[in-house]
Chain A
Amino acid sequence: MTRAAFGALLSHWWRNPLQLFTLLAGLALATGLWSGVQAINAEARASYDAAASTLDEGRYDRLVARDGGAFAQDNYIALRRAGWQVSPMVTGDLNGVRLIGLDALTAPSGMGPVSLGGGTDLGAFLTGSAQVFANAATAARLDGVEVLIADDLANDTAVADIGTAQALLGREGLIDSLLVMPDQPVGLPALGEVAPDLTMQAAQGGTDIAGLTDSFHLNLTAFGLLSFAVGIFIVHGAIGLAFEQRRGMVRTLRALGVPLNRLIGLMLAELLVFALVAGVIGVALGYVIAALLLPDVAATLRGLYGADVSGNLQLRPVWWLSGLGIAFAGTLIAGGSALWGISKMPLLAAAQPRALAMAAGRRARWQLVVALVLLALAAVLVFTADGLVAGFAMLGALLIGAAFALPPVLNAVLAFASARAKGVTAQWFWADTRQQLPGLSLALMALMLAIAANVGVSTMVSSFRLTFTGFLDQRLASELYVSTDSAEQTAALISYAETEGVAVLPIQSADVQIAGHPAEVFGTRDHATYRDNWQFLQSSAGAWDATFAGQAVVINEQLARRAGLALGDPVTFGSVTLPVAGIYGDYGNPVGQVVLVEDVFATEFPHVVARQFGLRISGDVGDFVNDLTAATGIGAGQTIDQAGIKAVSLAIFERTFTVTTALNILTLAVAGFAILMSLLTLAAMRVPQLAPAWAMGMTRAALGRLELLRAVMLAVLTAVLALPLGLALAWVLLAVVNVAAFGWQLPMYLFPLDYARLGGFALVAAVLAAGWPAWRLARTPPGDLLKVFANER
C-alpha cells in the first residue's frame, strides 16, 4: 500500500514536470547562491588565515639594512651578543615559490604555521637536509628538496630552516631582516652602536586586516542568506501549488485507507529526496559560481587589505555540508505549512482549484497582520538592538514583514487604480490583475526580496568602497613615508625637503589613557593635507582651524563611542583639556585616537621625537628617493612609497564590482525564473477567465500585450516598493549589524544610478519571464478558448 501510495503521489510530478523543474531548480539555485557565497567566504578565510600565520612577520618591528638589501649574518650575531632579542629571516624565490627561512629557536612563539606531524625528523630539519614545508599545491612545484606537507601554509610559500634556505637560495651568510621581539632585556645598547648599517621598521599591525575582512565577509554572508531567502520563496510557491493540486489525490488515498500519518510521512520523504537532489545540484552550482567569482574576490581582498588569498578553490566539507543543510532546512520551511495544511484537512474536503485563490484571499488578511507585527518588531529592534543576533533578527523581521506586506499593499494599489479606471478594458485589466495577484504574489515577493537585496548590497558595497577609498586617501595622503634613525638624519631630511619645496609632516604619537581607555595622541602639523583628505563623520564648523590653533582636538569614532564623547565634549589627557571639534572614521583600528596640533603635543610630550615623516611629493617618488639617498644617506629601506601602494589597492578594489554585479544578476535571474514559473502555472488556470474577454471581441494579440503589460506593471510596482526596503536593509547592515560586529559604523551613501540600473535589470527579468507566457497566450488556439463555454470544468 505504501508503495502504491508513494507511486500515486509521485505521479503528480510526472504529469507536471514543469512544477517539478521549478521546485528543483528553485531549490538548487537558492542553495547554489548560498553555498557559492559560503565557498568564497570559507576559501578566502582559510586562505588568509594561512597567509596571516605565515606572514606574521608583519606583527613585529624589524631591522633591515639601510639600503634595503641583504646584510651579513655577523650583524645578527653581534646584536644577539649585545642582548638584542632578534630573529633572522631570509626570503627568496625558489622555482617561483617564496621560500622563507627562519630560525625556529629564536623566532617569536606562534610564528611559522608549520604543524608538524609526529614522525618528523627535527634533526634533519635543523641540520641542513634540505627539508622545506609547503602545502600540497605548492609542493608539486618544488624539485630537488624534501617537501613536508603543511596544509596551513599559504600558497606559493615554503618555509625552511634559515640554514637550509640560505643554501637553497645560494645566499649563505646573508640575512634579509631581523624580527625584533616585543620583550627586550634591560640595559640594551642602542642599535647604532651595535649594527650601524641596520634600521628599524615599525610593525605594520595586523588588527586592521582582521577587522576589515571580517566586515566584508559578514556582509557577503548576509548577502548569501538573502539570496537563499529569495530561493525559498520560489520553493515555497512550487510546493504550495503542488500540495494544493494534490488535495484531491490525498482525499482519494485517504478514502482508500492510507493512514494520514503515513501519507504525511511519504510526502515528507518525497520532499527530502527533492532536497537532497536539489542540494547536491545546488552545491555543485555554488562551486561553479565560487570558482568564477573567487579570483576577483581574492584580488579584491589582496589589494584592499594585503590579505593573501589564494585564487584556487578547494572543495571544503564545511560548505558542502552547510549547502546541503540549508537545502534541507529550506525545503522543510517551505513545505512545512503545506504539510500542516494536509494534516488538518478534513477527510472529505472538496478539492477546488479555486481554493488556492479563495484561501489566499483569507490568508491575505492574516499575512497583513503578521507583516505589521514583524515590521513593528523591526522598528522596535532599531532602537533596542544590541549585538549581532539582534541585528540579524531585525534584518529577518524587516525582510519577512515587508515580503508579507507586499500582496496587501499591491492589492490596495490595484484596488485604487481599478476604482479610477476609465473604460471597460481598463477596468477589466485592473480587476483581472487583482484576480491574478494571489497566484503571483509569491513570485512577486521573491522579486521584491531580490531587488531589495540587490539595492541593499549594492549600497553596502559601494558605501564600503567609497568609505575606504576615502579612508585610504586620508591615511595614505602623503606620497612617501620616511623613517629616520637619528636627529642628524631628521635634520638632513628636513633641510633637503625644504630645498626641494616638499612638505614634511611629522608623525609622532604618545600612548595615553582617556576616560579609562587606552588611546594614542598624535601631534600634527598644520597642512592642507588634513583639511583636504580627512573626512569627518561629524564635525563642528572650522574643526581643523580650531585644532591647528590649539583650541580643539579631533578624535576617531572608536574613542567617541567608547568614551561616550560627542562634539564639544572636553577630552583630557595629562595636563591638556580640549573640546572635540570633529570625529573621523578610523576603520579597523581597535585603539582610540586623538589628533592635536604639534605645538601642544610637544609641550605635553617633550620626550617624544618624531622619527617618521610623511612627504608630499608632486613628482616621481622613485626619483625623489634616489635623490634623497644621494643627498642625505637615508636609504631606500627607510622609505615606503605609499602612493604606489595606494594606486594598486584602488585599482584592484574596483574589481569588487565585478563580484557585486555578478551576484546581482544571479539573484535577479532567480527571481525572474520565479515569475516565469508562476505565470506558466497560472496560464492554464487563466484560460476560463480570458475566454469571455476574447468572446467579447478582444483579439488574442491584445490579450497577450495586456499580459505582458501586467507583468511589467507589477514588476515596476514591486521594484518601487523594493527600493525603500533595500535602503532600509543597507542601513541595517551598515549601521546596526556592522556596529554590533565591529564597533564602527560605515557611513551610508546613495547611488541612484545603480538603483535605476537594478530597476532596469528587474524589468528585463520580468519582461523575459512574462514574454513567453504572453506569447503562448497570444497563440492559444481559438478552439481552447471556445471549449471554456462548451465544457464544465
Chain B
Amino acid sequence: MNAKAFVLCLLPVTATAQGFAGLGTDVDGFSTPAPNPVFDFPADHGPHPDYRIEWWYLTANLEDADGTPYGLQWTLFRSALAPYDVEGWQSPQLWMGHAAVTTETDHFVAERLARGGIGQAGVVADPFNAWIDDWALEGDWQMMQMRASGTDFAYQMDLTANGPLVFHGDGGYSVKSAAGQASYYYSQPFFDISGTLQLPTGDVEVTGSAWLDREWSSQPLAENQTGWDWFSLSFDDGDKLMGFRLQQDDGMNYTSATWITADGDATPYPDGALQVEPLGLNAADVPVRWRLTLPDRGVDVTVQAINDDAWMATSVPYWEGPVTFEGTHQGRGYLEMTGYE
C-alpha cells in the first residue's frame, strides 16, 4: 500500500472502519453533539475542529434554456485526526472536496485532498469562505459565489437565498440511531442558483434551486449502521422534504425526516414516520428508484434518478445525483446513497 492510500484508509472517512466511512468509530478526545443546541452565527458557519467530521454540502437541480435537467454537487469535508488545529503542516485537520455535474447521460466527478494549516483548504466563518484549491463557496449566506473544476468540467455559480435557515431534528440536534448517535444539522434549502457549466460539449447557462447542508459530529452513526439513503425533495408547490434512512447490519433501518413549508417552518418526524422502500436497481445494484411515504403529510411518491449512473468514484465512493418524483406530489430533488460499494 502506498503512503497516500494509507492516509486515506486512516482518514475517518473511509469504509474500512466501523460503520460507513468510519463514521461509527469511537470518539477519543473529540466533542460530541448535545441536545438543545444554541447556534452562534456566523461563527457556526465556520469549522468546529474539536468535532471529528464536518461538511459543507451543496446540491442543486438545474436546467438550461431548453429545459434539459442537470444536477450539481459541491462538497467540502473536514476530517480531524485530533481535536485541535494549529498553523502549519502539523495541523491534524484534513480536507476533502468533491464536485460533480450530472447530465441525463454523463456524470462528471472531481476530488481534491488537502492538509489543513497551510492555506490550501479551509473555512473562515466571517466573511464566509470555504475553499480547497481553486474551488470555493463564498459570500454572506444571502448572496454567494461558488466554483469548482475537474479535468473535464468546471462551473461558476451565483447563489441567492430567499428563505431562512432550517434546523433539523430537535432544533438542529439530529439523532441518527436508536442508541442516540447524533449530529448538529442545519440547511439552507432556499437558494436560487444560476451560472455556467463548462462541459466537454461546450458551455451551458443554467438556472435552478440549490440546497446547502451543514452538519458536524464526532460519531454520527452507530457501530451497526452501514450506510444511508438521503433525500432532499422540493415539491412544485414550494414545500420541501428532507428524509434519510440509515441502514443497519441487522437489516433494520432508522429513518428521520423534516417537513419544510415554503415559508421555512420546519417540522421534524421521528424514526418510522417516513418510510422508504427501494423499487429498482441500476446495473451496479444501487437502488435508483424509490417509494417514499410520509402518511402524516399525505405523501406517497416514486423517486427516479435522472441519470442512473451518478456514481462518485472518489476515495470514499458513493452515489449522488439529481432525481424527479411523482405520485401524490411532483417535483425534483437530490438523492445520496452510501454503503453500496
Contact = CB atoms under 8 A, between A and B. Distances in A.
Interface size class of A (residues with CB under 8 A): 35 or more
Given A105-B4, A109-B2, A163 B90 contact: yes
Given A83-B134, A105-B115, A123-B82, A186 B151 contact: yes
Interface in B79-98: 81-82, 88-92, 94
B120 A80 contact: yes
Nearest to B132: A80
B110 A185 contact: yes
A126 B7 contact: yes
B5 interface: yes
Interface string A673-691: 0000000000000000000
A113 B118 CA distance: 25
B6 A81 contact: no
A112 B2 CA distance: 6
A183 B151 CA distance: 6
Contacts of B330: none
A122 interface: yes
Interface string A91-134: 00000000000111111111111111000101100111000000
A186 to B, nearest CB: 5
B216 interface: no
B152 interface: yes
A128 B115 CA distance: 13
B6 A83 contact: no
A543 B331 CA distance: 72
B151 A185 contact: yes
Contacts of B263: none
B198 interface: yes
Given A104-B6, A186-B149, A82 B81 contact: no
Contacts of B113: 105-106
B317 interface: no
B133 A166 contact: no
Contacts of A107: 3-4
A85 B82 CA distance: 27
Q: Which applies to chain A's interface (DSSP): helix, strand, loop or mixed?
A: loop
B131 interface: yes
A457 to B, nearest CB: 39
A122 B4 CA distance: 11
15 contacts: A76-B120, A81-B131, A81-B134, A106-B113, A109-B2, A112-B3, A122-B81, A126-B89, A127-B90, A127-B92, A128-B89, A162-B89, A163-B88, A185-B154, A186-B153
A364 to B, nearest CB: 62
B7 A105 contact: yes
Given A82-B134, A83-B134, A123-B81, A104 B7 contact: yes
Given A115-B1, A122-B6, A126-B81, A106 B114 contact: yes
B208 interface: no
Contacts of A185: 110, 134, 149-151, 154
Interface of A: 73, 76-77, 80-83, 85, 102-116, 120, 122-123, 126-128, 159, 161-164, 166, 183-187
B4 A126 contact: no
Contacts of B35: none
Interface string B132-171: 0110000000000000011111100000000000000000
Contacts of B4: 104-105, 107-109, 111-112
B6 A120 contact: yes
A162 B110 CA distance: 25
B144 to A, nearest CB: 18
Given A83-B134, A126-B81, A187-B198, 10 more contacts: A80-B114, A81-B119, A81-B131, A103-B89, A104-B7, A111-B3, A112-B2, A116-B6, A123-B10, A186-B198
A257 to B, nearest CB: 65
Contacts of A113: 2
A127 to B, nearest CB: 5
Contacts of A111: 2-4
Contacts of A114: 2-3, 6
Interface centre among A116, A123, A159 (most CB of B within 10 A): A116
